[in-house]
Chains A and B, each alone.
Chain A
Amino acid sequence: MADHPRPPLTATGALRRAGFFALVAVIVLYAVFPFYYAIISSLKSGSDLFRVDYFPFTWEFDNYASVFRGQPFGTNIFNSIIVATSVVALSLVLGITAAYALARIRFRGRSVLLVTILGVSMFPQVAVLSGMFQLIRTLGLFNRLPALVISYMIFTLPFTVWVLTTFMRELPKELEEAAILDGASSVTIVRRVFMPLMWPALVTTGLLAFIAAWNEFLFALSFTLTNDKRTVPVGIAVMSGASAHELPWGNIMAASVIVTVPLVLLVLMFQRRIVSGLTAGAVKG
């Protein structure tokens, strides 16, 4: 369908092209407008907020200042960064060693393991909620950030192992055969032969694990209690005003923009990698 020779432009052809681009415009508008509207809203203060505008007429940053005053939003951001970074580091280290074994070494029980790992990645979080709560309590981690790092492993680890295994399987066999003949140990093979080749895959899976940890809500809501231990999604979800019916929409929109802009930039920068990672995780998985 793509790239077939373009027919000479006739009146109907021109109309068709216009229709096609109108369709594209509608798709882009649908995808982008809600976030664009959040940005416009976050830049308004006072009663301006309650007037619908299509373009930003005022550029006031009051909301951006006040979102850090009413609640420990700065701490929330800091917590999210700590948790997401630790989750990525831990899942990548454990993921790549496991993926090496699963992708490059033939041994009994390998298929069963792969299917089990895939099964865990489909666990509904609620299905383990009370057991996880008790685990966190037993480890003395309730209302502390390590509770989130440990519990997030349930969804980032299976995913990381799975995607890295898929990537690693496609590397040519000769690579390690030469290294084995040279007498290199498995650790050396992983570090010297595979790591350099795996960078693109590590960046992709790391990014996807980061986004998953950054966005997680259910565990963060259940395993933290005080505002200063909350991560960003919980911080934004519990933001409220003087009464339940007067939500501080300006602040909420500013907070939403603050936590989303870095994510959107990352996603746009690594667009191709993310798409290939998602396809490896879903189509092949």
Chain B
Amino acid sequence: MRDTSWLAASRTRSAWLFLAPMLVLLALVAGWPLLRTIWLGLTDANTLQLGQAKWVGFDNFLTRSDGKWYGVLADPVWWRSVRNTLWFAVFSVSIETVLGLGIALVLNRAFPGRGIVRAAILIPWAIPTVVSARIWGWLLNDQYGFINHVLASLGIIDHPVAWTADPSLLMTSVIMVDVWKTTPFMALLILAALQMLPKECYEAALLDGTHPLKVFWRVTLPLIRPALMVAVIFRAIDALRAFDVIYVLTGANERSMTMSIYARQQLFEFNQAGYGSAVSTLLFFLIALATILLLVATRVRLTND
């Protein structure tokens, strides 16, 4: 008995020893920067001289002087970027889920060449986001782009559409590119869930003569719901912090600016480290809140423990 408890104690000791390097590095690159960012958000720091920061409390968030409100929460551009981000997340994730589900259902059938098709739909996922934004920038080019060429030859448009320049179309273009890039991820996760389903359910339902559409709604969808929800949550969190695709495709344009682009602009283009950090803090808590709400609403359990 004493022997096993000694063994257990030594095992616990080695567990912490094994974890130490990873935990130290994680504290350095995640814990410290996060706390530092929150602290900088409460100062008037300048990006070029971070050392000379003075404490200003919550002035970066909201403050009133001479009868006017200042701070992030009083900036219409910030609220515009919050709206853009939500719009982007809701639309791109919904479209991706529906398309991904459709593609997964198709690929769940056995047909010759299925392996090749599955490999082909991984290509958009493999392409770096910056590169896919550049490729689509060329496809969507107003004068020489492929999309306008096709739409014009089909007679759908009679003059070139400025997909990446016309302010009212920026969001549409960005969502279009994001959907193309991330639908494969969705499709493959759903496909993995579909392939784990027991076959008996279908066979029973199909033998009963139930309409396939009804089988889908009543049997398939409820069974893959947990996996589907996890995929949706992951994609939603990803979409809420979107930066690359929008920054490269449309630049820091107000009509398509997301929270991340707004924060980076304050930090590195306007050199307002204090104000920019306040934005980062706000963004961190917004995304944490959204994550918790999504987890609670869908009742997904993340760990097996």
Contact = CB atoms under 8 A, between A and B. Distances in A.
Interface string B15-31: 11111011101101110
Interface stretch (A23-31, A66-74, A197-205): A23-31
A81 interface: no
B32 to A, nearest CB: 6
Nearest to B21: A94
A127 B149 contact: no
A140 interface: no
A31 to B, nearest CB: 4
In the complex, which range does the number of interface residues on chain A fall in? 35 or more
A150 B171 CA distance: 34
Q: Is the interface of A mostly helix, strand, loop or mixed?
A: helix
B55 interface: no
Contacts of B15: 101, 105, 107
Interface in B1-42: 7, 11-12, 14-19, 21-23, 25-26, 28-30, 32-38, 40
Contacts of B126: 211, 260, 263-264, 266-267
Contact of B184 (A31, A127, A253): A31
Contacts of A43: none
Interface in A1-27: 1-4, 20-21, 23-24, 27
B110 A3 contact: yes
Nearest to A25: B117
Contact of B273 (A130, A158, A268): A130
A233 B128 contact: yes
B280 interface: yes
Nearest to B241: A124
Contact of A115 (B117, B136, B267, B303): B303
Interface stretch (B61-69, B70-78, B86-94, B101-109): B101-109
A285 interface: yes
Contact of A131 (B16, B35, B133): B35
A123 interface: yes
B157 interface: no
Given A154-B30, A264-B123, A267-B122, A128 B280 contact: yes
Interface residues of B, number: 104
A52 B50 contact: no
B22 A233 contact: no
B33 to A, nearest CB: 3
Given A133-B273, A157-B22, A267-B125, 15 more contacts: A31-B121, A35-B135, A37-B139, A113-B19, A120-B30, A126-B283, A129-B263, A131-B38, A133-B50, A135-B29, A153-B29, A157-B26, A186-B14, A218-B244, A247-B137
Interface of A: 1-4, 20-21, 23-24, 27-28, 30-32, 34-35, 37-38, 41, 49-50, 52, 94-95, 97-98, 100-102, 105, 107, 110-111, 113-115, 117-118, 120, 122-135, 137, 150-151, 153-154, 157-158, 161, 180, 185-186, 190, 211, 214-215, 217-218, 222, 232-234, 236-237, 247, 249, 252-253, 256, 259-260, 263-264, 266-268, 271, 274-275, 278-279, 282-285
12 contacts: A1-B109, A20-B111, A23-B106, A27-B121, A28-B120, A34-B132, A107-B11, A118-B302, A125-B243, A127-B281, A129-B37, A135-B33
